[in-house]
């Protein structure tokens, strides 16, 4: 478990349909090891017409998630996601992908298997993880690893960090940006 690394993958929507993706790789204590973010993608009216209802799936999976995970230098043990659409990257790369849900959130679509993650002493609310058939056999061991992390760290909190980081990047004065 010493080399256990978690990648938290997030989509960020802003400015009338602009989409950005971000990934944060942490150690087992959720300390940052690597952060990557995409440039904003702003689909044109013509692209919306050509792609129709699959436009956002294409952008989120092919242009954001797959390239972000492939670009990581700190190879994660697993990728945690909140958005169901990111489960589609399971078939396009080898790092196990698991969707993290609050116990009250519904499960629809692609995920097959579900496990509950509890925090010892009920420090945090019960969560669930789901995955696709490809990573079904790793679900129980992943649950155990995540419960060790969840004993002292909120597994949802890194997603909040990613969201705030994207907000900061997109509201930062260009003159303040590091070169």
pLDDT higher at 24 or 126: 24
pLDDT at 135 exceeding the cut of 80: yes
Q: Are 1 and 148 in contact (CB under 8 A)?
A: yes
Residues 6 or more apart from 118 whose CB is under 8 A from it?
126, 147, 150
pLDDT at 109 exceeding the cut of 60: no
Helix (H) or strand (E) holding 22: strand 18-26
| Residue listed under structure tokens 């938290």 | 8
Q: pTM for this one?
A: 0.90
Task: Write out pLDDT tens, residues 23-53.
Answer: 999 999 999 999 999 999 999 999 999 999 9
DSSP state of 56: H
CA distances from 78 to 53, 81, 93, 136, 144 (A): 29, 10, 11, 13, 13
């Amino acid at each position: 478990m010493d080399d256990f690394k978690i990648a938290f993958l997030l989509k960020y929507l802003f400015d009338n349909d602009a989409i950005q993706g971000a990934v944060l790789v942490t150690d087992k204590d959720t300390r940052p090891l690597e952060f990557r973010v995409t440039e904003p993608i702003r689909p044109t009216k013509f692209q919306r017409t050509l792609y129709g209802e699959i436009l956002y799936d294409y952008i989120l999976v092919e242009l954001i998630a797959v390239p972000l995970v492939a670009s990581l230098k700190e190879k994660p043990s697993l990728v945690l996601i909140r958005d169901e659409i990111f489960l589609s990257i399971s078939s396009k790369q080898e790092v196990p992908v698991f969707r993290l849900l609050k116990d009250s959130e519904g499960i629809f679509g692609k995920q097959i298997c579900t496990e509950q993650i509890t925090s010892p002493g009920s420090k945090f609310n019960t969560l669930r993880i789901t995955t696709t058939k490809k990573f079904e056999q790793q679900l129980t061991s992943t649950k155990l690893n995540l419960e060790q992390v969840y004993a002292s760290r909120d597994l949802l909190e890194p997603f909040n960090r990613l969201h705030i980081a994207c907000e900061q990047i997109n509201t930062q004065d260009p003159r303040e940006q590091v070169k």
